[in-house]
A and B are shown apart, each in its own frame.
Chain A
């Protein structure tokens, strides 16, 4: 019980940011904070041009602003489904997107540019066709390249694409002009093609249902344009970004020559980046722990219904639903289930994302646990049930006292394995913008442009937990073996 409340405490600590009390109506903004200077993380906060503009608008309109960091692929869906009020993530205005949501008046005109290495044979956009091109998944650059040039390599964010370019995995990266400047100032040996690929406008996305909010936004945006506030915000962040970039550049070149120690400091120590891993680790543990509990309960009940139905012919109708549950859950990827639960089932509820993940992984794990338990129950000699029943114990008494304890012991290794699988599967939580361990590593990667250290660190942490769990299960098995 004590340990349980400890977890509850941890959770509340983790979610403190969302607990601020206020009477003002909330305005939820979604963004993927890996797109400097438009949006990026500084420590715990999301900052940048978009957050700053939206903050001003929210203040003017009397809203309390809440910012959620999620993958760019999902921000428009989030607005559409009512999970968020406004998407502000350097979104380019396109005809296709206009069909799904309304755009505010544009606040920036941006370009898609091409980054190549200094010594690259690519000099004009016409040359691109023959080479490997990287883009950020779902961006205008992605759409344009796919439609007009060739199938590109899609990366979760621009930083990753640039990292790939630097390490020779790509020949060119198509990316928005502003962040391109930042990357160029951080990495030596890169250049831009002289002509931009496209020119485009950025605007905020608001649900078609929310016409009033759109009007309010447009009004304030136009005011900001008229009184110069918009320009000053944009200028401020661009300058700031070049400064920090210059900062990083020194670090980076040092890292390149001096190596491991500096790399370690850059990735983990500087700006307390280890905190991303530590907090992500706690979120991962939290989700896994409660999902395992939920999976055990669901799996246990389903297994009991299933094996009772098989062995006695009772519970035909519940058994039918259990079989459907097993078929659907085991027949679809867990990521898809997670997204469905978040966007479809809880689409219009303001429900905590950690809870969504616990529910999704719990339901998923329940199906596998059910089959493990069922196999365990059915592997127990029929004579055990008969002996119990012949003594006058009821079916469920015999199950509880005789069959299930034996079955549990038999399936312990399989259960342990399922928990380990579950722990690792939670690494897809980032899809609904949860900052779990994997996502923590991603964030570091997007800030340091280093793939090696964050990824290895994340892998090592998972590995350590799994080894710890395995030894725990081993001890438990041994303890139970002694009682025979």
Chain B
């Protein structure tokens, strides 16, 4: 069996105007691992993550999801995305829907779950994160930390094979970062496959199975937190971590 959720081969993303955000990236996301992607601003971390679920269309290269080439034009992109959850920096909850509806909308509309199943699942997830009483509230009535935790369970409700996080705590007030990180830790412990872009290097060092350090559109080094953060044998990584730690 293929143990990789994602396999990325020769991925290039060039934006209009000639910015090469990704320059020939090869990588894989292994089943069950917690992968962190770190690096300086503008190094291509978000672009890499967004290419994984094709929110950005790669200029060239291939992305295999569980062995299937999803960059192939014939691949059903919606079906593929149902299996890949994403959590955004700015939450992107749907302000026109209640919290409960935010969570059940996609599972029901995509036919992954029946209305009843989705509703039960949403209630279960809400109870789990202690926000069941917000079930019928609207997103504008929630704090930032609450919003991000809802966004996470909204993605979870689809039963995805992998969760992608793009700086999930960057838009939060410091006192709310903790609640989101501890939920992510919990998911990691349960064996959820996760790929996380973050500037929280300490958190990455603590939770990561593996870390990518990106610079100038390339993965410069990858390995365990020890190999990448504590004793990097790469001058650019060394410089970066000495500044942020």
Residues of chain A at the chain B interface (Cβ within 8 Å): 381, 383-384, 386-394, 397, 401-402, 405-406, 409, 483-484
Contact = CB atoms under 8 A, between A and B. Distances in A.
Contacts of B55: 386, 389-390
Q: Mostly helix, strand, loop or mixed at chain B's interface?
A: loop
A411 B112 CA distance: 33
B109 A397 contact: yes
Contact of A391 (B90, B95, B140, B154): B154
Which range holds the interface residue count of chain B?
A: 20 to 34
Given A383-B88, A383-B90, A484-B138, A391 B158 contact: yes
Nearest to A405: B96
B4 interface: no
Q: Mostly helix, strand, loop or mixed at chain A's interface?
A: helix
17 contacts: A386-B86, A386-B88, A387-B86, A387-B88, A390-B81, A391-B81, A392-B78, A392-B81, A392-B83, A392-B106, A393-B78, A393-B105, A393-B109, A394-B78, A397-B109, A401-B105, A483-B138
B95 A484 contact: yes
Contacts of A397: 109
Nearest to A402: B94
A484 B140 contact: yes
A398 to B, nearest CB: 9
B84 interface: yes
A406 B92 contact: no
A402 B109 contact: no
A45 B71 CA distance: 73
Contacts of B95: 406, 484
Contacts of A384: 92, 94
Given A402-B96, A406-B95, A390 B90 contact: no
B82 A391 contact: yes
B78 A387 contact: no
B59 interface: no
B55 to A, nearest CB: 6
A402 B105 CA distance: 10
B110 interface: yes
B85 interface: yes
B79 to A, nearest CB: 7
B94 A387 contact: yes
A383 B96 CA distance: 14
B155 interface: yes
Nearest to B94: A402
Given A391-B82, A391-B158, A402-B96, 12 more contacts: A383-B90, A386-B86, A388-B94, A388-B106, A390-B53, A390-B88, A392-B79, A392-B112, A401-B105, A405-B96, A406-B95, A484-B95
B53 A409 contact: no
A427 B154 CA distance: 52
A414 to B, nearest CB: 18
Given A391-B154, A401-B109, A483 B78 contact: no
Nearest to A401: B105
A391 B55 CA distance: 11
B85 A484 contact: no
B150 to A, nearest CB: 12
Contacts of A387: 86, 88, 92-94
